[in-house]
Each structure stands twice: as structure tokens, then as C-alpha cells.
Amino acid sequence: MRDSDYKKKAKMDSEYKESSVGVLPSLSSDKFSGKPPVCVLTASGKRTGEKEGEITVKCASHGLISVIGRQRVMEDAVAVAVVGEVESFDFFAVYDGHGGSYASEMCRDRLHLIISNELEERRRKRRRMTNRRDVEGGCGGGEGGLEYWGEVMAASFAKMDVEVNNEEREYPEAVESEGSTAVVVMVGEEELLVANCGGSRAVMYRGGMALPLSRDHKPDRPDERERVETAGGMIIDSRVLGVLATSRSIGDRFLKPYVISEPEVTVSERRGTDEFIVIASDGLWDIVSNEFACEVVRRCLNGELKLRFPENYTSGNRAAEAASLLAEMAIARGGKDNISVVVVELKMYSSSSSSSK
């Protein structure tokens, strides 16, 4: 091991100890015994709405957790599902609500269904166009790529935004000020799609490096500030109109047109060096760096760091333990917000597809 490697490990060990506040003994510890995070809501490997005995998503391992932290209300929501009928994708999403839990819960229940319907509608339309071209002697085009997925996600997020903003409520004024961020990761056999709207984030560990898959929509981001100001709004104290700390979200009707629901979309080819993805709300990312989070997950998945829970809380897979460990570390470091984390192992999705890359 080179001197630089020793220094890096020593620094990481130090950061672990500093973050523990008496909770985590040492990075090199074989076991970690401690109380589970405050108000554990979910720690599992099941998809949204799945019942006991049903088949989970096709990945070999994924885990998720949501904790209320030191807040009085839980406004985060997490969804894991399968979307698409002809070509299916594993769907993972984290929603960070504000002004209440209504918007994030509605996104959790509806967005993956909206995306599935959007994909099916576009395939039907493409088939009709292809048949017409065949009759006329032409040929049909394919689907996929950044432009295609950008249109699919933009249309889906817009429909979700309309549903949230137009929903009839007992207290109509609540709809005006409720909203949610959304970061969606869809994993296919050969590609990886990410759509982000707001301050939640997805980070992939590839080839020993933490690679951001999304960019936070902060009002102080130069291009976001310019967009808001061009629409007639202002950024005051790093907030849109001095109110909202994210420049894009689903909902927030009273901040239209300054706050928009259009996501930023990326499409990446899967590689054999892709190891895992961490998807989380800003309750995690405001406390730890991308690199630190990935190092924690890597060591947990490799068995270098183990989390021991009470019997009634044992998750049964290391991805869930890694997600739980990240949440607890964020709380130990002083995190006060809701924290939601999803860890997805990419290496184990398809050994044949991974080895061919």
C-alpha cells in the first residue's frame, strides 16, 4: 500500500470515529452494536405495494430505509418498483416532501405508474407510425437515447405535477404550498436512466470512484438562478422568493412559474465496473460527501463493516444494512432532517451483461 493510500485510510478512519459520537467504535471494527436510527420506517428489499411471498425486483440485492430524524413529521417517501411491459426497468426513487407529506406520498404511489403508462403510449404510437411507413414504403425508427428519455421523463413529471396541484383537498390552501423533490433511477439490462427534480441525489460507485448521476437544483446554481430570474422571480437568501430552498419540485403551485417540475435526465451505458448506487434525500447529502457515503457502502457490502440490529429489525441483506448505517451516521453527525436512503447493488444484476462490457 502506498503512503497516499495509508493517509487516505487513516483520514477515513478518523472521519468515521468523528461521526460516531460514541456510536461507531472504529472503521476496522468487525461488528457494530447500537440502537437503530430514530423512528425506522422501512428497511427492506421489497418493491412498492409488494406483499409477503411475492417476487422482489430482479436485482440480487437492494436495501432502503427512511428515518424521521429529529423532525416532528415524516415528509420523505421511497418507491421501488418495476416499470415497462415490453422492456422492463427496475425503478428506484426518493421523494423529499416539504409543507407536508401529501406530495411525496402521492409521487411514491403514482409516478412509476405514470412513467409505465407514458412508455406504453409512446410504443403504441410508434407501432402505428411504423405500420403506416411500412405501407407507404418507409421504415420505422428506433427508440431510446437521451432525447427520447428526456421527453418521457419530462411528460411524466409534468403529469405528476398536474395531479399534485389539481387534487381536491379538505384544505385547498395546503395544496398551494406542498411539494416534493424527486430523484428517479431506472436500471435496464444495458442502460441506466436518472431523472432528477430538486435537491435529492443519486451517486454511483464506478471503478473505485464516486460518480454523481444527478445535479442538485439549488436556487444559487448559476443556471437555475438565471432561469428563475428570467421568469420574473428572485432568489432571496438562497431561496426562491425567500421561501423554497430548491428551484425545481413537483407541486408548489404558488411558486409557479419560478419553480418547475421538469427533470434533468441522464442516460448512461452500464459497465462492468459499476458496483452500486446510493440514492438519498438531502437529509443525508447535507451531512456527508458523495465519496464518504460510497466508502461506507463499499466497506459494508464487502463485509468489512457490519451492522448488528435487534432480532426484530434484522434486514437480511447488506445493502439494507449499508443504507441503515448511512442514515444512522448522518444522525450521529448532527443531522436533523428526515433521511431516506436506497442502496442498489449493480454488480449482481446480470453477470452476463456485466462481463460483456
In angstroms, rounded to a whole number, what is the distance separating the alpha carbons of residues 32 and 296? 13
Q: For residue 154, what is its C-alpha cell? A: 419530462
pLDDT at residue 174, rounded to an integer: 62
In angstroms, rounded to a whole number, what is the distance separating the alpha carbons of residues 273 and 304? 20
Number of domains the chain contains: 1
pLDDT at residue 228, rounded to an integer: 98
Asked if the structure places residue 24 within a domain, the reply is no
Pairwise pLDDT comparison (297 vs 30), residue with the higher score: 297
Q: For residue 18, what is its C-alpha cell? A: 468523528
Asked if the structure places residue 12 within a domain, the reply is no
| pLDDT interval class at 40 (50, 70, 90) | very low
Is 300 within 8 Å of 23 (Cβ atoms)?
Answer: no
Asked if the structure places residue 21 within a domain, the reply is no
* pLDDT higher than 80, residue 60: no
Asked if the structure places residue 160 within a domain, the reply is yes
pLDDT at residue 176, rounded to an integer: 79
Range of the domain at 44: 31-355
> How large is the average pLDDT for residues 17-37?
31
Asked if the structure places residue 94 within a domain, the reply is yes
Q: For residue 264, what is its C-alpha cell? A: 434533468
CATH code of the domain containing 233: 3.60.40.10
> How large is the average pLDDT for residues 83-91?
85
pLDDT at residue 84, rounded to an integer: 83
- The pTM assigned to this predicted structure is 0.80
> How large is the average pLDDT for residues 266-282?
95
46-60, 88-102, 162-176 — most confident range: 88-102
Q: For residue 51, what is its C-alpha cell? A: 406483499
Percent above pLDDT 90 for the chain: 60
Contacts of 296 (CB under 8 A, 6+ apart): 16, 288, 305, 322, 325, 326, 329
- The mean-pLDDT minimum among 16-20, 92-96, 153-157 falls in 16-20
* Helix/strand/coil for 175: helix
Fill in the amino acid letter for 27. L
| pLDDT interval class at 168 (50, 70, 90) | low
* pLDDT higher than 60, residue 191: yes
* Helix/strand/coil for 97: strand
pLDDT at residue 121, rounded to an integer: 92
16-30, 46-60, 78-92, 249-263 — most confident range: 249-263
Residue 76's φ and ψ, nearest 5 degrees, are -80, 155
Residue 198's alpha-carbon distances to 95, 217, 283, 286, in angstroms, are 9, 5, 13, 14
In 200-330 the beta strands, taken as DSSP E runs, fall at 201-206, 209-212, 235-236, 239-240, 250-251, 264-269, 274-280, 307-308
Is 147 within 8 Å of 185 (Cβ atoms)?
Answer: no
Asked if the structure places residue 320 within a domain, the reply is yes
Mean pLDDT, the chain, rounded, equals 80
Distance of CA 85 to the CA centre of its chain: 22
pLDDT at residue 59, rounded to an integer: 58
Q: For residue 350, what is its C-alpha cell? A: 446480470
In angstroms, rounded to a whole number, what is the distance separating the alpha carbons of residues 32 and 288? 19
Asked if the structure places residue 3 within a domain, the reply is no
Asked if the structure places residue 1 within a domain, the reply is no
